[in-house]
Structure 1
Amino acid sequence: MPRKKRITLTCLLVTLISPLAAAQPPIIEGERFHAEPGQHAMVVTSHELASRVGRDILREGGNAVDAAVAIGFALAVVQPRSGNIGGGGFMVISDEKSGDVTSIDYRETAPAGAFKTMFQDDEGNVIEKASRYSANASGVPGTVAGMAMALDRYGAMSLDRVMAPAIRLARDGFAIPQRFADGLNESREQLEKNDGTRRLFYKGDGSDWHAGEVFKQPELAATLTRIARNGPREFYEGETAGHLIDTIRAHEGIMTLEDLKNYRAVERAPIHGTYRDYDIYAMAPPSSGGIHIVQILNMLENDDLTSMGFGSAATMHLMSEAMRRAYADRSKYLGDPAFFDVPARALTSKDYARTLRAQISPDRATPSDSIGPGNLTPHESNETTHYSVADDSGLAVANTYTLNFSYGSGIAVDGAGFLLNNEMDDFSAKPGVPNAYGLVGGEANAVAPGKRMLSSMTPTIVKHNGKNFLVTGSPGGSRIITTTLGVITNVIDHGMNVQSAVSAPRFHDQWLPDELRIEDGFSPDTLHLLEGMGHHVIQQSAMGASQSILINDDGFQGGADPRRETSSAMGL
């Protein structure tokens, strides 16, 4: 893939399609869900201000990678519950001109002082809050290194140029949306436990911020300015690094300046599979997402989901059964490939998928206690936010990054204005014991120094006849994989436009616990049929927030997920 692409703009129609299906969640009316017709590109993010930043970068001659990096830093300002410079994530990049698809792994790593039983007590029991709300809950952050690597290798603009909008937003402030105010209010009990976090996110007298008020972050503006001027190593070796480690030490954490200095983002080949006549490119380990998206699609490929219909009991049963088998394999076979030999080829083998598909009854759910990780021997020769960007030079970017929980560990870096992640909870604190998302892990994902914790983040690009077709992904913890899967099948199998595909009700099955989780919007008759098949149907809150782009003969179409009231698709 060539370096430093510059785009030549041509005329394409850019539209945001409204949802059609009556069973889908209602679209919240507002400008953000009705992108202006444009000609050159599409940006879809979870925040209107971030979408504007990306659109403006494209308008000024940047390419999709420039826009993606600018969005990443902007979200760190306007959406601090998940946008971040104190966390990490994954970026998938597709270039139609060269035919190359690559990915940037900027997942956090465990500090050198980490050890397998660090989150267990003397009796071997997991201490849950230790891996979630302490200084040791934080892995070494990767976002700054990852964004800088993507920009250096595939962008067209300088770091200071793409960071300028984020710096302005932090310095001059922005009007708080209702979701921002609600999030801080709902998380007050945890956030105010830390003096630095309380000063950062609440007023001087301790009161809440309200929607419409202007929120400024001078410490974060100064941090971003230092990074823009001095480059990414400022975060890992400069003044910012000093602030970060001082905060870690003040909270008795083990991360050191040496851990920061040694951090590196990694460029990896993505997982590649095929589904019908489409090519699927998604993140490789230490994300489990790419492998399991391909694995599940392989199990579904020989079934006629189109005839079975969206939201039918038959479709939901089959997909649920395929999901739970993939998640069972996740518990044993997925981890950091630098520490564990992940059998990616076996897991994504169509022969292996046929073996798993043969286990699925057409009319009866398989109890989870009778499912386990598959036998790969015959087949062998692993609160988040997502955004998508595509331009007419043939570049497309799917990026997912996170602090893990909403507001991460809840610990703000004193003097630097950003939150630390709590990604160490994504390790298996004790093999066989579920993490905060109910996911069960094994030795492959045990804590070890320098290791990257397993993730479900699944930035995905689907290509058709060599052309970028669908750019997608989602937040949602363990539900990221199934949310992304649903958008893909909604478009390919059910012929939905991208907004309908994103808005349609979702369902999720992760093997353990033994339940089929659904959103509101499915027919009661369908749910009754599924229960009759033996599924334990549980209706819970909305899942994920997929920000997706569909590219076809009509141009670019952006689908902004209405599950986030700040979601925004913008074309130009």
Structure 2
Amino acid sequence: MNMRSVTNAMVFVLVLLLPAGLFAEGGRTPLRVENGIVTSASRLASDVGVDILKRGGNAVDASVATAFALAVTWPTAGNIGGGGFMVYHGEDGHATTFDFREKAPLAASERMYVGADGQSTNMQHRGFLSVGVPGTVAGLYMAHQKHGNLPWADLVDPAVKLARDGIPITYALYDGFRRNQSFWDQFPSSAAVFLKADGSQYQLGDTWKQPDLARTLERIRDEGRDGFYKGENARMLANFMQANGGLITEEDLAMYEAVEREPVRGTYRGYDIISMPPPSSGGIGIIQMLNILEGFDLAAMGHNSADYLHVLTEAMRRSYANRAEFLGDPDFNPDMPVNRLISKEHAANLRATIDMEKASVSDESRFGQIYESEETTHFSVVDKDGNMVSLTYTLENSYGSRIVAEGGGYLLNNEMGDFNPVPGVTNRDGQIGTDPNLVAPQKRMLSSMSPTIVAQNGKPVLAIGSPGGRTIINTTMQVILNMIDHGMNVAQAVEAGRMHHQWLPDRSSFEGMMFSPDTIRLYEAKGHTVNARGNQGSAMGIFHDRETGLYHGSADSRAGDGAAVGY
């Protein structure tokens, strides 16, 4: 990627030689290695992935192993009880995606979350009715069957050992367990996992063992996808759901299938953008915004200047409005205007409506953005041959529903909250009621997850993505802009301050302490409303420097346990 040459930031990055290889935890200087990198929210999981690479596994093998390891080491979002998306781009030019988004159970209905008063009951976000049919195991299995190299059992076994033998309680784990104490008290099956046998909390440095999860992973290791969707696990999960008013049955589990889909593709200043199609809205959103922004000289505006932030906001505003109006599960919405939404012509029409001196106004009668939690996780992988994987998966909220499947040891998602809960009701608070994303049996809920690969001349050069719910699309897009338009290395691009706008509510959020007060004042003078927020996302990026042949990896310092590991 012939990006502008810049001086590396003078920020110290800890780099050590470990058995798994070199690693870097955060900072603005990337890890640079020759053979391969895994960058994820958990150094233990990244270690697992790199060990697979060293044993001859390819990028897909390493991503499968990393994902299962994250189900043990990063329970806030790593999972086998949720779902997500994988984008693969081979060095040979072949690109594809795997959709393992959760589905609504067969017993789900369009108005299941509408109360007697016509308003949302909010049960789509909490309790057993919030749980969608998990897709992670099916998706990882399909990707391995299509592109894997090493035996399936070799990829799952490291996670089995981590769960059985235990992992140390880091501060991130300790803090997450502590903050969710009230939920562990509410669900005995969760307390059995996240509290000690005497009911006390785990402390820093304690060893956390997960024997039920280890047994579930052993079944998956030995039986493949059927170890989760059929047999003992399916019976236990269905019985647990039935006993507690949930909807998922053995039939729901047996019917679940992941889907291989063609990526959505765009171009930006000579680079190819390869990303996830619906039911992800991320690929379309990123391509549409890049198309709009391609008509501006962003480099001349200056990174995070008031004018730059203004045009970013206006591109975001228009993209998120289109998202709410048109996008949903393609199996239920065959006529979505995808090609039009990602066309240069459509972007030019939208660009023409942007006034450089004045903010647009978001109108609740013209669509907005549904609720999405920001607790997701993303990781990126590159192998010695240059093949890349960008994978984002989630439980929805932090720790999902906070409900552990009894006997299974894994957390269940609360992804039903990503459907539009009340048909026909769209308001300024951001609740959306448009048809494409209403609840229906076997339907996949719309998502903002945006695993993306940037390529040049048919070769992958950047794998990027982030957690962050509704902010994911904008975070991923800003990292791409930081590299292409502003000449940053991948670590600088990941660490830079971020902002977000999503059409409705009509306000912009800025990471606190990352933007000049003078810039904010100039931005507000154009009519924008601003609020400060904490960290936005936690991007994990890998860049293939084609000039030197080295791989550059960056783990966002916003992820407390994250690390880029390579060799």
Distance 2:184 2:101 in 1: 24
* Structure 1 contact 104–150 (Cα < 8 Å) conserved: yes
Contact 2:495 2:556 in 1 (8 A): yes
Q: Which residue identity is paired with 2:99?
A: D
Range 184-193 or range 260-269, more displaced: 184-193
Residue 77 in 1 paired to residue 69 in 2?
no
**Equivalent pairs, count:** 542
Q: 1:115 aligns with which of 89, 99, 109?
A: 109
Q: Is it true that 1:423 corresponds to 2:415 in the alignment?
A: yes
Match of residue 517, structure 1, among 509, 515, 524: 509
2:319 to 306, 312, 326: 326
Give the SS at the match of 2:535: coil
How far residue 253 of structure 1 moved from its aligned partner, in angstroms, is: 1.1
Identify which of 326, 338, 348 aligns with 2:342. Answer: 348
Residue identity opposite 1:271 in structure 2: V
Which residue of 306, 315, 319 corresponds with 2:308? 315
Aligned counterparts of 1:432 and 1:102: Cα–Cα separation in 2? 35
What secondary structure is seen at the aligned counterpart in 2 of 1:403?
Answer: strand
2:525 to 520, 532, 553: 532
How far the C-alpha of 1:468 sits from its partner, in A, is 0.9
Compared with structure 1, are the counterparts of its residues 262 and 511 closer, same or farther at alpha carbon in structure 2 (3 Å cutoff)?
A: same
- Shift of the 28–136 alpha-carbon distance from structure 1 to 2, 3 Å rule, reads farther
1:496 aligns with 488
In the TM superposition, residue 457 of structure 1 has moved relative to its aligned partner by 0.3
Q: TM-score, normalised by structure 2?
A: 0.93
Give yes or no for the alignment of 1:568 onto 2:560. Answer: no
Please point out which of 275, 284, 309 is paired with 2:277: 284
What are the residue-to-residue correspondences of 1:381-396 with 2, within 5 Å? 383-396=375-388
Counterpart in the other structure of 1:33: 24
Q: CA deviation at 1:434?
A: 7.0
1:485 corresponds to: 477
Q: Is 1:44 aligned to residue 33 of structure 2?
A: no
Tell me by how many angstroms 1:61 deviates: 0.6
CA distance, structure 1, for counterparts of residue 428 and residue 257 of structure 2: 27
CA contact (8 A) 2:230 2:250 kept: yes
The superposition leaves residues 81-127 of structure 1 with CA deviations (integer Å, 9 ceiling, x where unpaired) of 10000000000000121x11100000000011110000111232100
The 8 Å contact of residues 120 and 430 in structure 1, kept in 2 or not, is answered as yes
1:470 aligns with 2:462: yes
- 2:360 corresponds to 1:366: yes
Q: Give the residue type in structure 2 aligned to 1:294.
A: I
AA aligned opposite 2:137: V
Q: Which residue of structure 2 lines up, in the alignment, with residue 4 of structure 1?
A: none
Give the Cα–Cα distance (whole angstroms) in 1 for the partners of residues 14 and 314 of structure 2: 36
Does the 8 Å contact 1:136/1:255 carry over to 2? Answer: no
Select which of 133, 155, 180 maps to 1:187. 180
Instruction: Report SS of the residue matched to 2:366.
Output: coil
Report the residue type matching 1:354 in the other structure: A
Q: TM-score scaled by structure 1?
A: 0.92
**199-208 or 283-292, larger mean C-alpha shift:** 199-208
How far 1:254 sits from its partner (Å)? 1.5
Q: For the Cα contact (< 8 Å) 1:18–1:500, is it kept in 2? A: no
The one-letter amino acid paired with 2:34 is Q
- Aligned 8 A contact 2:99 2:259 in 1: yes
- Decide whether the 8 Å contact of 1:384 with 1:403 is kept in 2: yes
Q: CA deviation at 1:190?
A: 2.3
Instruction: Give yes or no for contact 1:328–1:371 (8 Å, CA) kept in 2.
Output: no
SS in 1 for 2:227: helix
Contact 2:365 2:426 in 1 (8 A): no
The AA in structure 1 aligned to 2:96 is T
Q: 2:9 aligns with which of 20, 27, 37?
A: 20
- Tell me, in whole angstroms, the C-alpha distance in 1 between the residues paired with 2:115 and 2:405: 27
Structure 1 residue 230: deviation in Å? 1.2
More off after superposition, 83-92 vs 152-161: 152-161
Deviates more, 1:242-251 or 1:161-170: 242-251
Q: 1:234: Cα distance to partner?
A: 1.7
**Residues 541 and 527 (structure 1), Cα distance of their counterparts in 2 relative to 1, 3 Å cut:** same
Give the drift of 1:411: 1.1
Q: The residue matched to 2:33 in structure 1 has which SS?
A: coil
Write the distance in 1 (CA, Å) between the matches of 2:554 and 2:427. 31
AA paired with 2:43? E
Distance, in Å, in 2 between the alignment partners of 1:370 and 1:253 is 33
In structure 2, C-alpha distance between the alignment counterparts of 1:183 and 1:412, rounded to whole Å: 15
Partner Cα distance (2:429, 2:403) in 1: 21
Q: Which one of the candidate residues 444, 448, 457 is aligned to 1:452?
A: 444
**What is the Cα deviation at residue 39 of structure 1?**
2.2
8 Å CA contact retained: 1:27, 1:562: no
Query: How far apart are residue 37 of structure 1 and its match?
Result: 5.3
* Secondary structure class of the residue paired with 2:396: coil
Percent identity, aligned pairs only, is: 47
Residue 53 (structure 1) aligned with residue 55 (structure 2): no
1:545 positional shift: 0.4
The structural deviation recorded for 1:191 is: 3.0
Measured on the aligned residues, the alpha-carbon RMSD in Å equals 1.9
Question: In the TM superposition, what whole-angstrom CA distance separates every residue of 1:152-192 from its partner, at most 9, and x where no partner exists?
Answer: 11010111100111001000001111000100101111232
SS at match of 1:131: coil
In the other structure, the counterpart of 1:227 is: 220
2:162 maps to 169
Q: Secondary structure at the match of 2:321?
A: helix
- Identify the range of structure 1 (248-257 vs 316-325) with the bigger mean alpha-carbon deviation: 248-257
Displacement of 1:436 in angstroms is 14
Task: Quote the offset at 1:38 in angstroms.
Answer: 3.4
Say yes or no: does 1:338 pair with 2:331.
yes
What's the counterpart of residue 10 of structure 1? Answer: none
